[in-house]
Amino acid sequence: MLRPRTIELVKATVPVLAERGPDITKRFYELMFERHPELLNIFNHANQRQGRQSQALANAVYAAAANIDRLETIIPVVKQIGHKHRALNIRPEHYPIVGEHLLMAIKDVLGDAATDDIIQAWAEAYGVIADAFIAVEQEMYQAAADQEGGWEGFRSFIVDRKVKESDVITSFYLKPADGGVLSAYLPGQYLTVRVKPAGQDNLHLRHYSLSHASGQDTYRISVKREDGLDSGTAGVVSCYLHNAMQEGDTLEATAPAGEFTLRTGTSSPVVLLSGGVGLTPMMSMLHTLAKHEPERDVYFVHAAHNRRMHALREEVRAVTEANSRIRSFVCYERSEAGDTCDRQGLIDAEWLAATVPADVWQQADVYFCGPVPFMKAIYRALKGLDVSADRIHYEFFGPAGALEEA
């Protein structure tokens, strides 16, 4: 338990964190990587360059400070972050390093305003928060290792097949190099791979959604090649997988993780909405519904630039044709000659209302994933359709943002 004075001092910093949080977390990463360059083998370099990781940490620190007197309210966030930490193989010994440099950054940025009392209060508060993360993550490590076919840390996989799905997305079918069984996973979870491309100083880790139902003899991830044409920065890992990784090569991965999962065991309808490579977790959900809950009504809506950029189209068509309760719809933002789709242009609330029956929106669990602009547009549309918040489920690729800011 934290002392009342500690809680008082931490909560007093909330307005400052709202204003200076990104500066503090930016400085934190600078200090930590300068003194512990080995941690560059864990953190996503692209998110660092783009400032997304700093912003995500700033949001987490702000939430912790604002709720320091009722930390139980942020346990759902702790669990969500804990999944990624477990997937990245974050260990208890990393937490003191983080705490030390976070306090240094607070002092550096706030200067004399960060009094000794405030720094001491934050040190105590960080210790309690870190203990909560460590406890949650230890349970996750144990659960991943204890299930049949489970493991802890990294496991080697052989690329059994490499299949081009579109101009930018390729699927990789992975078999355990040790010949053992594969642990089960929930539809919507991801696999975290670790690679060291030629010419790179550090290891690189990335989360990729599993794009098929559990119970296969391989894991499948479907990866978009981030060539940098849109963002200006090419994806180190995605380009390596597309250009260098071949059938028969070895890839390391941690056990499946993630909280963005399909709610099963209910008869309610399901709406799956995806944009671009955001269809990968939806494919896992779609296959799971078709195989295990074929009596549920499912609406699968996917948006892509055009047919050339549309991955797994025929696979979705086959699943749809085999089950009359599943309906699929395709939207192309900029269709080309010969493309066939259900809508040209962007998805909006008006088109969704005309495509999915009104009573479905009042009952369905809705899942969506894709680029952030797509997700913000979908979130606004769902709010416009009066879909209740407890039935809206979404996943960010990379550090979580706030759709409510749209």
Per the annotation, does 31 bind a ligand?
Answer: no
Check whether 277 is labelled as a binding-site residue.
yes
- Tell whether 399 is in a known binding site: yes
- For 296, what's the count of Cα atoms within 13 Å in the CB-facing half-sphere? 26
Q: Which of 137, 226, 333, 395 is catalytic?
A: 137
Give the other-Cβ count within 10 Å of 160's Cβ.
15
In angstroms, the CA 37 to CA 276 distance is 34
Cβ proximity of 381 and 348 under 8 Å: yes
Is 181 buried (19+), middle (13-18) or exposed (0-12) by CB count in 10 A? exposed
- Greatest CA span in the chain, whole angstroms? 69
Say how many C-beta atoms besides its own lie within 10 A of residue 140's C-beta.
Answer: 17
Q: How far are the Cα atoms of 121, 298, 351, 379, 397 from residue 357, in angstroms, in the given order? A: 54, 12, 11, 18, 29
Q: 218 among the known binding-site residues?
A: no
279 assigned ligand-binding residue: yes
* Cβ 348 vs Cβ 376: under 8 Å: no
Collect all residues with Cβ–Cβ distance below 8 Å to 30 and sequence separation of at least 6. none
Our answer to whether residue 336 is catalytic in this structure is: no
Give CA–CA dist 181/149, Å, rounded: 5
Q: What are the residues facing 191 on neighbouring strands?
A: 208
User: Which run of H or E residues covers position 254?
Assistant: strand 250-257
Beta strand 169-176 with 219-224 is antiparallel
398 is annotated as contributing to ligand binding:
yes
CA distance linking residue 220 with residue 397, whole number of Å? 17
401 is in an annotated binding site: no
**276 labelled binding-site residue:** yes
Token duo for residue 119: 């720094």
CB–CB of 205/236 below 8 Å?
no
Catalytic choice (29, 62, 95, 208) = 95
Q: Is 154 annotated as a binding residue?
A: no
Judge whether 137 counts as a catalytic residue: yes
**Residues tagged in the binding site annotation for heme b:** 85
Active-site positions read 95, 137
- Binding site residue list for FAD: 190, 396-399
Annotated binding-site ranges: 85, 190, 276-281, 396-399
Residues that constitute the known binding site for NADP(+): 276-281
